[in-house]
């Protein structure tokens, strides 16, 4: 380990919510880091299981661990609290049900220090149904600085397979980036808060080092995740993200088009979300609210099939006055969902 590494503390923020099954494995992997100058900040977001007891025990055993309890406020609030409590030069985020490689922090700090990078992004392993697959990125490994750093922003906004993901847990970031630009996660966003936050962050930084083919994080897919359940007011969150990012992204045709495509993708997620509402009346109300949105319809008219290849059937149906067809599709899915819930 070189001298610059030993001088740079890393704050590792781990939001915790009802994580009694996995938090020990997560913490054990962090404590096995070959990089010594770390602080581990556990933000308990109002857990109702034994998470608090487990975290308190770890805090007693290890001086590197700080345990903080807060009233349940959501993952964005927990991460913000972690940033506020951080003392390190760098900040990293880890989800409480995942694990990391022993050399993750050391490798990422070395890349940051050696290249004067404001952020380092590693690739990751996806573990699902006891099967592991490596998730690498299309962009080559190396430093992206100045105007070249915009390539990383474009890749993030694409959200395609092998694009740079918006996940918090693949990143090591200078804490000064958050403080200087007053950047925090948006409280209240249940989904896509990472996409919203990190897109804004990438508009403010000029040097990113990609470890595109160096998987250092183990993402364990959890079927109990919030992304598999109905979320109230999800569409309102999508519109907030779309309109807020319009104010912050570079004023270029490429960025505006990528943001419009993001809206189309989130429309389909929103419709699927509404189809999982247990109230048929509320589901119908939400579906029509989404399909009649003037911003959505403006984007549908503006985009071409070449911009949304995977979603061109939806775009064409919407463009040629097929809202009723789309609405009926998702209303039918809602009926099927409600029937299955009663079984």
**Does residue 229 carry a pLDDT above 90?**
no
pLDDT by residue (tens digit) across 117-152? 999 999 999 998 889 999 999 999 999 999 999 999
pLDDT for 3 equals 43
Phi, psi of 84, deg, nearest 5: -60, -35
Q: Determine the Cα–Cα distance for residues 306 and 316; give it in Å rounded to an integer.
A: 12
Three-state DSSP class for residue 307:
coil
pLDDT by residue (tens digit) across 23-71? 999 999 999 999 999 999 999 999 999 999 999 999 999 999 999 999 9
How high is the mean pLDDT of the chain?
89
**Does residue 212 carry a pLDDT above 90?**
yes
In whole angstroms, how far apart are CA 70 and each of 15, 76, 77, 332? 11, 13, 9, 41
Cβ(209)–Cβ(146) below 8 Å: no
Kindly report the number of other CB atoms within 10 A of residue 34's CB atom: 12
pLDDT by residue (tens digit) across 2-18? 444 456 999 999 999 99
Strand partners, 120: 172, 209
Please report the sign of the dihedral spanned by the C-alpha atoms of residue 64, residue 68, residue 74, residue 79.
negative
**Six-digit token pair at 15?**
């939001």
Who's near 291: CB < 8 A, 6+ residues apart? 318, 323, 326, 327
Cβ(280)–Cβ(248) below 8 Å: no
**Six-digit token pair at 51?**
């998470």
Kindly report the number of other CB atoms within 10 A of residue 328's CB atom: 12
pLDDT for 38 equals 97
pLDDT by residue (tens digit) across 94-118? 999 999 999 999 999 999 999 999 9
- What global pTM score does this model have? 0.89
pLDDT for 213 equals 96
**Does residue 156 carry a pLDDT above 70?**
yes
pLDDT for 310 equals 62
For strands 99-100 and 207-220, give the pairing: antiparallel
**Does residue 1 carry a pLDDT above 50?**
no
């Amino acid at each position: 380990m070189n001298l610059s590494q030993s001088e740079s503390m890393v704050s590792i923020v781990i939001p915790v919510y009802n994580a009694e099954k996995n938090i020990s494995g997560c913490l054990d992997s962090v404590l096995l880091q070959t990089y010594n100058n770390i602080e581990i900040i556990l933000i308990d977001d109002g857990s109702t299981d034994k998470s608090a007891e487990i975290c308190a025990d770890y805090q007693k055993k290890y001086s590197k661990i700080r345990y903080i309890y807060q009233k349940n406020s959501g993952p964005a609030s927990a991460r913000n609290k972690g940033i506020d409590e951080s003392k390190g030069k760098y900040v990293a985020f880890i989800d409480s049900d995942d694990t990391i490689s022993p050399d993750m922090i050391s490798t990422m700090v070395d890349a940051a220090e050696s290249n004067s990078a404001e952020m380092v992004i590693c690739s990751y392993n996806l573990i699902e149904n006891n099967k592991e697959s490596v998730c690498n990125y299309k962009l080559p490994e190396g430093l992206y600085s100045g105007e070249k750093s915009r390539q990383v922003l474009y890749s993030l906004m694409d959200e395609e397979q092998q694009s740079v993901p918006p996940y918090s847990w693949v990143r090591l970031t200078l804490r000064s980036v958050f403080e200087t630009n007053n950047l925090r996660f948006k409280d209240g966003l249940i989904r896509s808060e990472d996409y919203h936050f990190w897109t804004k962050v990438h508009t403010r930084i000029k040097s990113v080092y990609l470890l595109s083919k160096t998987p250092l994080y183990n993402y364990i897919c959890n079927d109990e995740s919030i992304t598999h359940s109905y979320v109230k007011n999800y569409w309102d969150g999508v519109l907030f993200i779309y309109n807020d990012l319009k104010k912050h992204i570079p004023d270029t045709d490429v960025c505006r088009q990528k943001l419009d495509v993001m809206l189309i993708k989130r429309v389909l997620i929103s419709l699927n979300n509404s189809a999982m509402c247990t109230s048929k009346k509320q589901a119908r109300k939400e579906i029509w609210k989404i399909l009649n949105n003037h911003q959505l319809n403006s984007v549908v008219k503006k985009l071409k099939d070449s911009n949304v290849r995977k979603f061109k059937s939806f775009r064409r149906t919407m463009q040629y006055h097929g809202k009723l067809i789309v609405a009926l599709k998702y209303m039918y899915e809602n009926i099927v969902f409600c029937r299955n819930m009663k079984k």
